[in-house]
Amino acid sequence: MQQQPQPPPQPPVDAISRRSLLTVAAAGTLALALPQVAGTPPAGARRPVARALRPYANPLPIPKVLTGADLTIPMREAEVSILPGRKTRMWTYGGSFPGPTIRRPAGVTTRVRFQHRLPREAGELTVHLHGGHNRCSEDGHPGGLTSAQPQSLYCDISPGLSSAESGNDLLIFRGGERTYTYEQVEDGAPERSAFQWYHDHRLDRTARNIWRGLAGMWILDDELDASLPLPRGSRDIPLMLADRSFDARNQLTDPFAAQRRPPNDGVTGERVLVNGAVLPHHRVRAQRYRLRVLNASHFRAYELRLSGGLPMVQIATDAGLMPRPVRRSRILIGPGERVEIVVDFAAARGGRVRLLSGRRPGGPKSLGSATYAGPLMEFRVGATREPDRTSVPRELRPLPAWLAEASRQPSHVWSFAVSGGLRPRWLVNGRSFDPTYADVTAKLGETVTWELHNPTGVAHLIHLHHTDWYMISRNGRRPPPWEACLKDTFFLDPRERVVIAGRMSDYTGKYVMHCHMLDHEDHGLMSQFEVVA
Ligand code: C2O
Ligand code: CU
């Protein structure tokens, strides 16, 4: 049956900017707790930039795709076209925001040389491939104190550490470069296909560095994924959601002032960008598409849905294909998480479909739990009836065999808190981040079961490096089908407990786990585990 969702009349732009201000104000207690939300101008201020912006006028940018085994990416300043009028000066991977999408076959080594060509203010940098299973030297360690960054306001870095102790030997110094080697192998087999991303991970400054533009997408392909009859080519689209605020000259605001203290340190941007564009449109044929959605925002969560009630068939999570597809009408996605969905636009032939974010029905209203409400982008569906040989198989990727040996009882609990005192900081098991400290050790080859516990009044998105994790339970109950699979980042509303299992294969060393709300991470909510032989 053909169903043509009517595009709602386009609201005048003034109404949109007012609405987005209201949205910020309505995002739960956030606006109340934070007098200046990410540089949001006070209501009523004149905003010439917003006036010129025509919703859905700009095409969706698709970042350039790099496929080579040996890549070089300069990290440099560039003028990026985001809002109408003046360009925005950003810190970029390769001159664009998002950076180029790297697309590589699993099981084959990829080397990426990152060259530091940013101004002095940037200090040292480090690049993490989020979702990759990599040697700890290649994992983008945050590092410690340097002459460019002689102190940390929030983390417990002892002075006088050697560069190996602090991880400074892994940093990229200004004017220098570092080549990261990604083997893309796990447990003797190619890694699973997945939608990953790469971004800066520097101590104390990850939020600032990513806000300025240091983020890009990475698609790992494998044979199983390629053998499925899923949409591919121009019908496989990565979408990076990231919110930013701009001043009247279209430049990024700097919301990372030291007075933003835990627990009121969640930065949100006033505008949500999709692949670096505000409210873009994309022309699609009346066929199935694979949409890979990354929430690269600092603090904002989204509750995705499609206008006209068009169904989304979720096929993958952070860690790639799920055992079976799940049909969903709304999808909650927090900072750092990814979902892949298949959408059949044949049901909206000749119409327009909007990707929207709405409120979480019945969800907690606490800081970080409330979602953005507003449109994100528009798909313009072709009027021609098109044959479509793609489909979504009933079985995708089976869960890994190691799960059979996973204990249901956690052997370690990661629990979060805010310290007291004049300079509150986030704590993991009573400590803020210390590059020399590991809170727990695991044996190489061991399958560990750990609990994530959020006793705070703020949501957290907990990401663990090194491997993919299977969710055993959420608050003592069996997780929903879209979480009963492998993932690497977990949404924890206040008072929630999540039990996860992961297998420590291939690499020894210290790996970080942290909140992917980037201010939380910078303000201490990061710890380490160590894999030992
Ligand atoms: Cu996406 Cu440790 O980060
Ligand atoms: Cu957090």
Beta carbons of 397 and 323 less than 8 angstroms apart: yes
- Strands (DSSP E) contained in 271-349 are 271-274, 277-278, 281-286, 288-295, 301-306, 312-317, 320-328, 331-333, 338-344
Half-sphere exposure at residue 212, Cβ-oriented, CA atoms within 13 angstroms: 25
Beta carbons of 336 and 526 less than 8 angstroms apart: no
Q: How many CB atoms lie within 10 A of CB 318?
A: 26
Nearest to 214 by CA among 109, 151, 105, 129: 129
Range of the domain at 496: 401-532
Q: Which ligand is nearest to the CA of 199?
A: 1
Whether ligand 1 lies within 6 angstroms of the CB of 520 is answered as no
Report pLDDT for 478.
97
* Alpha carbon of 431 to ligand 1 centroid (Å): 19
* Among 224, 256, 289, residue at a domain's last position: 224
Whether ligand 1 lies within 6 angstroms of the CB of 523 is answered as no
Confirm whether pTM is higher than 0.85. Answer: yes
What is the number of the ligand 1 atom nearest to the C-alpha of 514? 2
* Among 174, 206, 224, residue at a domain's last position: 224
Give dist(CA 196, CA 97) in Å, integer.
16
Whether ligand 1 lies within 6 angstroms of the CB of 463 is answered as yes
What is the number of the ligand 1 atom nearest to the C-alpha of 512? 2
Name the residue at shortest CA distance from atom 1 of ligand 1: 130
Whether ligand 1 lies within 6 angstroms of the CB of 128 is answered as yes
Residue pointed to by tokens 């055992």: 323
The C-alpha angle with vertex 510 and arms to 507 and 511, in degrees rounded to 5, equals 85
Does 431 map to a domain? yes
Whether ligand 1 lies within 6 angstroms of the CB of 465 is answered as yes
Q: Which ligand is nearest to the CA of 127?
A: 1
Give dist(CA 335, CA 491) in Å, integer.
9
What is the number of the ligand 1 atom nearest to the C-alpha of 199? 1
Does 318 map to a domain? no
Does 272 map to a domain? no
What CATH number corresponds to the domain at position 92?
2.60.40.420
What is the number of the ligand 1 atom nearest to the C-alpha of 521? 2
Does 306 map to a domain? no
Q: What is the DSSP letter of 300?
A: -
What is the number of the ligand 1 atom nearest to the C-alpha of 526? 2
CB proximity list for 294: less than 8 A, separation 6 or greater: 195, 197, 217, 238, 239, 240, 241, 337, 338
Does 78 map to a domain? yes
Report pLDDT for 309.
93
Report pLDDT for 51.
52
Does 247 map to a domain? no
* Among 186, 201, 224, residue at a domain's last position: 224
- The pairing of strands 338-344 and 288-295 is antiparallel
Q: Which ligand is nearest to the CA of 266?
A: 2
Q: What is the DSSP letter of 484?
A: S
Helix/strand/coil for 347: helix
Q: Which ligand is nearest to the CA of 488?
A: 1
Residue 263, preceding peptide bond in cis (omega within 30° of 0): yes
* Alpha carbon of 394 to ligand 2 centroid (Å): 35
Does 279 map to a domain? no
Write the burial class of residue 308 (CB in 10 Å: 0-12 exposed, 13-18 middle, 19+ buried): middle
Give dist(CA 442, CA 465) in Å, integer.
13
* Alpha carbon of 6 to ligand 1 centroid (Å): 39
Number of structural domains found in the chain: 2
Beta carbons of 20 and 40 less than 8 angstroms apart: no
Whether ligand 1 lies within 6 angstroms of the CB of 336 is answered as yes
Give dist(CA 496, CA 456) in Å, integer.
9
What is the number of the ligand 1 atom nearest to the C-alpha of 197? 1
* Alpha carbon of 418 to ligand 1 centroid (Å): 21
Q: Which ligand is nearest to the CA of 218?
A: 1
Taking the chain (533 residues) in runs of 10, the rounded mean pLDDT of each run is: 39 37 35 35 45 89 98 98 96 98 98 98 98 98 95 90 96 98 96 98 98 98 98 98 97 87 94 98 98 98 97 98 97 98 98 97 91 98 97 98 96 97 94 97 98 98 98 98 98 98 98 98 98 97
Name the residue at shortest CA distance from atom 3 of ligand 1: 130
Whether ligand 1 lies within 6 angstroms of the CB of 466 is answered as no
Does 266 map to a domain? no
Report pLDDT for 260.
83
Dihedral sign computed on CA atoms, order 36, 42, 45, 47: positive
* Alpha carbon of 416 to ligand 2 centroid (Å): 9
